[in-house]
Structure 1
Amino acid sequence: MSIEINFHYKRNTISPKARKLFTSTDADTIVIAEQPLRLVSCDTPEKATYAGKPEESQPKLDRCKERLNNGFYDELPTGLRNYLRNKIINDAAKKHIDAAMDAIEAFEKMLSERLTLPDGSQRKIAVMPTGDLIDVYGRMLAYVSPWYKNTREDPLPPIGDPRRNTLNLDMISNGWAAFFPIYPSLPNNKDLNITIKAANEAWTQGKGAWEKYGKNLLLGYEYRMCIKLSEENKSASECIKDAFERICVDLRNLSVVGKFDFFNVPPSHRLWIWEEDLEQAKKDLDL
């Protein structure tokens, strides 16, 4: 009997990405190599590949600042305009890109320390996919930690031992990644609260990037906002739509502050929601 399936709901699909086939285990299971993996809930500064080297990206930031000053973006709240332009200093692009390279160095050092076994071999990683699983860039969204076999030779550390931390948490704790939780890719309540505490300590104590570059450093998502606000041949409304795609929630009181008032919330307490997910998030998170 011939049938036709016609489910009436929007599929969460993305365009295919090329990946190298590593091996197959049976006719319906394959292993691929070169699968990018995005550490969720954290955001590091952008490298020069995003908007160019400082000599290319600083003029873009300067154009953004000029527009924030000259009335082009008067539809944005005054507080937000002041917040962003105060961060766009003469060497803002260089500081941001330098911070990106420092974050990479810190991450590679952490990988070496946490994954290298006594015999010099490398420990496997535990991958915990979450939320939307695959983003629009083909990256798996996941929390990642060292893998312990939980044997006599390789026991699982006790709960609370920092060796059990995810790499996501460690990057936030050391101040080289900003806390960047996006619904629905959130950890469980216990881990979420641990991460909020670590993020707050990194921010208030000025760790990592904030220690080296100061608190006026543009965070990764703020840098991307400013670059989008600098785009030429677009109207103010078009640039604003591109730059501010998510709605912010203040984790301190679960109030929805919207797209433009996130600057009133400390970086450690900003939760982000895609606009199309807001109504469901209100139900799921009791906002």
Structure 2
Amino acid sequence: MSDVKIFWDPKGFELDSLGRKKYIRATDGDTPYISTSIRMLGIDTPEVHYPGNSSPVKFDAKLKELAGWIREGIAPVDEALGEYLIPRLETGEAGTLQKEQGEQARAYFEALLDRLLRKESGRRRSVYIQTADEPFDQYGRLLAYMAPSYTSDELAKLSRHERATFNYLMVESGWAASFLIYPSLPKHADLVMLQEGAKAACENRRGAWENELMLTGYEFRMAVKLYNITKKIVANRNVSSRERSGWISRFCVDMTSGEIFYPQEYYKVSPYNRIFVWPADVTDAVAKMNLKPPIDREA
């Protein structure tokens, strides 16, 4: 019988899992180095590969077909959200645009890294990483804000904008949409700067915003899920009510008004003002951020 006299297993498994990673080296007996991918917090770029390693281009015709299903009232989507999505889907090039913009976003990010991480000496600068309360996502990627690592003397000479994270700079460029998910939010000053940068990018049609029919990365993933569910409905397969609504589940908060919207109402909030909240976190978010229902719903 075990000598251990305490019991600690309230959820069955308490540790985050990183999955399979490449081993690099060890500096001593308890300090191995591994490679790991980072999912930059608070932003979302267009997809180069989705779902999985598939090309978004494969969904051009499918998303056009989805637009037809929405028009016919077959797809499980609210009429108003459907009207918002239809012009973006029926072009027959929604997937192609997604991939093209994803590749442009990657090229911009790589150029940004090359410029900001290169020292005058020619040597490469390290990066500074700040993680969220939950450090890893479901794919084992490190959730983090990433910035060039400056010395104390350098930081003293730099403004908040000049020392900004890559997360912010991608949003400011227009090649990433802000994608804040409660409770992993930046501190107030950084939140304000992100909102202002995102608004300027959107209103001035920088990067991906140049095309009025663009889908953000999260909207494209959402549309693919909606297509797959609607395809089952069209084929007369059994689809539960939970599955019908499962393609979209995050509530959306307008950070400028404090209003909270149901998942299918997210489009009512300007892209640069959105904070998403998982259903399980809604009660906590409402209390801590003093949220309220939309004004027009109270009338």
TM normalised by structure 2 equals 0.86
Contact 2:59 2:94 in 1 (8 A): no
Determine the C-alpha separation between the residues in 2 that align with 1:3 and 1:37. Answer: 39
Match of 1:226 among 208, 211, 223: 223
Change (3 A) 1:181 1:54: closer
Equivalent runs, 1:19-168 vs 2, <5 Å: 19-33=21-35, 35-50=36-51, 52-53=54-55, 55-73=57-75, 75-88=76-89, 89-151=91-153, 155-158=154-157, 160-168=159-167
Match of 2:247 among 233, 243, 246: 243
Change (3 A) 1:12 1:219: farther
- Please give the secondary structure, in 2, of the residue aligned with 1:217: coil
Contact 1:77 1:260 in 2 (8 A): yes
Provide, for residues 146-186 of structure 1, a one-character-per-residue CA deviation record: whole Å limited to 9, x for no partner: 001225xxx22535253301000000001000011001111
Change (3 A) 1:12 1:99: farther
Change (3 A) 1:236 1:16: same
Q: Match of 1:65, as an amino acid?
A: A
Equivalent runs, 1:241-280 vs 2, <5 Å: 241-280=245-284
- Please give the secondary structure, in 2, of the residue aligned with 1:121: coil
Contact 1:157 1:163 in 2 (8 A): no
Aligned-pair identity in percent equals 29
Cα RMSD for the two superposed structures:
2.2
How much has 1:101 moved relative to structure 2?
0.5
TM normalised by structure 1 equals 0.89
Change (3 A) 1:8 1:95: same
Q: Match of 1:47, as an amino acid?
A: V
Structure 2 gap segments, 5+ residues each: 234-238, 292-299
Change (3 A) 1:241 1:123: same
How much has 1:77 moved relative to structure 2?
2.0
Q: Which residue is 2:4 aligned to? A: 2
Determine the C-alpha separation between the residues in 2 that align with 1:55 and 1:215. Answer: 19
Contact 1:128 1:143 in 2 (8 A): yes
